[in-house]
Amino acid sequence: MTTTDSDTTGFAADATGRIVQHVHWEIDYQVKLGRTWSRFMKGLQNQELWGSVCQHCSRTYVPAQDYCEACYEHIEEWRQLEPVGTLRAATIVYQGFDGGPEVPYAVGAIEVDGTDSLFMHFIGGVDLGNPEAARARLVDGLRVRARWAAERSGAITDIAAFDAE
């Protein structure tokens, strides 16, 4: 619902005087990550970055996945990767969302060395105080390295950010 204004009758009403009632939908549920993502997340918890490799076309994926996007074959092979790569695209966020990180922050698409997909993550190590200077740094080609979170729980945020080198 879009408004909580009250008119003189005590009802919440919109700009046209129609009654607006508040409906609250709280969605609390569990997502089973399954075999492949569980193994990937456990790797992060141990400060290890693992990708999966298609045995049919040799494409390597981070995050790991159990099927190949290119040839649709089942993937079973794993490879540990150095958590370094090259930034391919990024955005600096000045307007976040409720429950999200404090602005400004940067997120980017990283090509981890030796992989064929892009890995989305926070980008650190760049002063975001000056938007234009930060934009000029956060471009295709910037080398980045993972910085591990001090407390890890088997989640994507076990990597705190990929910092500019």
- CB 86 within 8 Å of CB 110: yes
Answer for which of 15, 28, 127, 165 binds another protein (CB under 8 A) is: 15
Residue 8 in contact with another protein, rule: CB under 8 A: no
Closest listed residue to residue 51, CA positions, set 41, 34, 63? 63
Q: Does 96 bind another protein (CB under 8 A)?
A: yes
Give the interface size with another protein as a residue count (CB under 8 A).
Answer: 47
- Shortest reach from residue 118's CB to another protein, in Å: 4
Backbone angles phi, psi at 42, to 5 degrees: -65, -35
DSSP 9-68: TSSBB-TTS-B--------------HHHHHHHHHHHHTT-EEEEE-TTT--EESS--SB-
- Residues numbered 22-61 forming contacts with another protein, rule: CB under 8 A: 23, 25, 31, 33, 37
- The Cα 131–Cα 134 span in angstroms is 5
Report 103-162 residues binding another protein (CB under 8 A): 105, 107, 109, 111, 116-122, 131, 135, 139-140, 155-157
List 18, 28, 127, 150, residue binding another protein (CB under 8 A): 18
Cis peptide before 63 (omega within 30 of 0): yes
Binding residues for another protein, per CB under 8 A? 2-3, 14-18, 23, 25, 31, 33, 37, 62-63, 65, 67, 69, 88-97, 100-101, 105, 107, 109, 111, 116-122, 131, 135, 139-140, 155-157
